[in-house]
Amino acid sequence: MTMTVASLVVLLLVWSSVIRRLRSAERVLIVGTSELARQLVEKFAGGAAGRQRLAGVVDDLDERDVLNATRLAGPLARLGAVITDLCPDRIVVALADRRGRLPMSALLEARVRGVVVEDGVECYERLTGKIPIESLAPGHLVSSREFRKSHLDLAFGHALSLVVSAAALVALAPLFAVIAVLIRLDSPGPVLFVQDRIGWRGRRFRLFKFRTMRPSSEPRSEWARDNEHRVTRIGRWLRKYRLDELPQLINVVRGELNLVGPRPHPVCNFELFVRGIPYYSLRSVVRPGLTGWAQVCQGYANGLEEETEKMRYDLYYIKHKSVWLDLRILSRTIPMVLFGSGSEAPMDAKAAKRPASAAASSPSIARVGIAH
């Protein structure tokens, strides 16, 4: 009898798996050929959308303007007929300019028939875990419900950070002492690197790290690619396992950081990033963190372009901030610490002009503070 029941359970599981595999993929129709639409086409073509498959693209452009391997299903004026012909399960609207162009009647009719109609920004966000800030209109943020967080949720997250950090400081005190001795034996200079950063509500605070570079009397760039030769033997090991970040637990106890949040940037780069990165000032509406969504998804940045990419992840975190997302980030941070992954960090150095070799990609990045 027991064997019969077990066999039946196994058969049901196998049958369920077969049904899931045979189930037809969701057909997606993209409206528009904007840059956002092109990025979505690449995601669907690359398999990043799971069981969703691209059925076609609708816009008033020549077929040469559509990405390779993507067929132009028709102009906007024929959207209703295209929907009837292709029978999509989901329509993604990614027009660059919708004023007077979007066939609302055809979309409304499709929606009533059960077709999912999704905004292109929300589709990209769902597929990638980041927000396409260049394609984002302020209205998307103003009307979004996700940005409103309960005071209880925010207070709980901050209280959890304080309790965990205080306990960690006590438990890790012997390790702090060992690291301090190793740093002093390995190279001359202070044990801690202290740097002014921009935190919650744009307030300046002093961030602590273990020093990982040899002090330099010459002006230096802050990026890793320009300062690799200055990393000490102990510093390289500390960076690999993120142990140089441990003194920031003091910042958490002082209320300047949370365990999870956007990483705080040096004061000297703040104005540049505000001017060069869309919606950058929104990072200051939440407390910065010791680790963050951008940190576990991308790692460290080595230029303005990479900082912009991290902002896409940071804005996603700000929008969806919750205790559960924080726990997810912490669960992904732990393997990074234990196994030394994602160890390339930006270097900090004295304020000066960037060397010519590095200036080509990010000529306006400011220099900061004392090397750590």
One-character DSSP codes across 75-123: -GGGHHHHHHHH--SEEEE--S--TTT--HHHHHHHHHTT-EEEEHHHH
As a whole number of angstroms, the distance between CA 323 and CA 236 comes to 32
Domain residue spans of the chain: 24-128, 151-359
Phi-psi region of 137 (alpha: psi -120 to 50; beta: other; left: phi over 0): beta
Which residues are paired to 192 by β-bridges?
A: 210
Contact 223, 347 (CB under 8 A): yes
pLDDT at 350: 33
As a whole number of angstroms, the distance between CA 171 and CA 163 comes to 12
pLDDT at 364: 44
pLDDT tens for each residue of 238-249: 988 889 999 999
Contact 127, 151 (CB under 8 A): no
Helical segments of 144-241, H only: 151-171, 173-186, 224-227, 233-240
Instruction: Round to the nearest angstrom and report the end-to-end CA distance of the chain.
Output: 69
pTM attached to this predicted model: 0.80
Helix, strand, coil share of the chain (percent; to 5): 50, 15, 35
Q: Around Cβ 117, how many Cβ atoms within 10 Å? A: 15
- Residue among 354, 347, 364 nearest 266 (CA): 347
- Residue among 121, 160, 170 nearest 315 (CA): 121
Residue ranges of the chain whose pLDDT lies below 50: 21-22, 63-64, 69, 224, 226, 343-372
* DSSP class per residue in 216-263: -SS---SSHHHHGGGB-HHHHHHHHTTGGGTTHHHHHHTTS-EEESPP
pLDDT at 305: 92
Q: Quick one: CATH architecture of 24-128?
A: 3-Layer(aba) Sandwich (3.40)
Which residues are paired to 196 by β-bridges?
A: 206
